[in-house]
Amino acid sequence: MKIRSIIFWLHLIVGMSLGMFILLMSVTGVLLTYERQMIRMAQNSAITAPADAEPLSYQGLADAAIAAGGAPGHVMTVPNGREGAVSVSAGRRNSFLMNPYTGERLDGAGEGATAFFRRVMYIHRWLAFTGGRNEVGAQINGVSNLFFTLLCLTGMYLWLPKLWRWAFLKPRLTLMARHPNAKARHFNWHHALGLWFALPLVAITLTGAVFSYGWAGDFVSWVFGGAQGQGGQQAEVVAEEPERLTGQTVSLDALVAAVQAQSGREGRRVQITLPEADAAKVLVAIDSGNGVEPGAIRSFEVARDGQAIERLDPRADMPLARKARIFIRFLHTGEVFGLIGQTIAGIASAVAVLLVYTGLCLGSSRLWMLYQKRRRKRAAG
């Protein structure tokens, strides 16, 4: 049997066997495309502003955050204009939202949207329609994801036409307006869309494997130098006694304005690490991206008297393997490249839905033809 025939049947068998699981992951991937933005919209919809009220100042919000249960060291994230929900967080599982006009907690804001996207994520990762992590479902989705990579790679090989002429290339390169029948339409969609989105889909599936399998994560750590990064032995971290306030302070509003002036951007949101009452410095970050783009966040350490501003790079001492895993995490969703990256990832997931549909149609047709051929052969013999 020729190599092309072996690859074709491998492609067909894998696709027909795991197509429904790949389809489910693709559909949920589409639903998760703008998860961050949708949840933020739902949270903001819970805000009620008193008549003619102005948003609280940064200092007022910081005071309200402490009164609402925040503590020094918590990060307060304020949308530009201070009109959206303010987040106060000490980690993923320890956070709350505040009304930017009153400083009151917004407990339950966006709860419905958060629950919806959490369930979609559970299905996407673990095939869990109820409850939490489903180990069997996680294994099924992990295997399906890996074999989807194989389908993309074998599909690129099978895309190559036997004759390099335009008549053979056209239905493999472009979406044609007219088709003689459904089979021709499915062939055109499967080949053209499969070619143009093969690389984004390979990136999505390979990065997904890092979440599914420990060995994939270990491989990333090994490639990028393990837990210590490129420098070999990890340097011992010596905790320094923080500087204490000795003079007068200026308001957080003045400090934020100074940081924005020095950075040359107002940003989409401002992140302030709530300081101790007698701390001499405060950490302020200006985020011009979507919250996870490393190059869009600029961090500063600002003296409380407003006399000194120092640019920081929180990622400078981060092990290279850790940086790689963060990059891979948000490459999977496209968020590492901002809204454009998210949109490309979402379109690629939608294309995957069409690829599964057309692939199942073409595969079923091929298997039916093979069955009919063998049936006629037995009847004739």
Place of tokens 């996407």: 124
Cα–Cα distance, 325 to 68 (Å, whole number): 34
252 vs 243: CA distance, rounded Å: 18
| Among 278, 287, 230, CA closest to 256 | 287
Tell me what pLDDT residue 245 has. Answer: 62
Q: Residue 231 has what pLDDT?
A: 39
What pLDDT sits at residue 100?
A: 96
Give the pLDDT confidence score for residue 298 in this predicted structure.
93
Specify the pLDDT at position 240. Answer: 59
pLDDT lower than 50: segments of the chain: 228-235, 237-238
What was the pLDDT predicted at 242? 62
Burial class (CB within 10 angstroms; exposed 0-12, middle 13-18, buried 19+) of 172: middle
Q: For position 290, what pLDDT does the model report?
A: 87
Beta bridge partners of 77: 87, 271
C-alpha to C-alpha distances, 119 to 93, 122, 161, 245, 334, nearest whole angstrom: 17, 5, 42, 47, 20
* 54 Cβ neighbours under 8 A, 6+ residues apart: 101
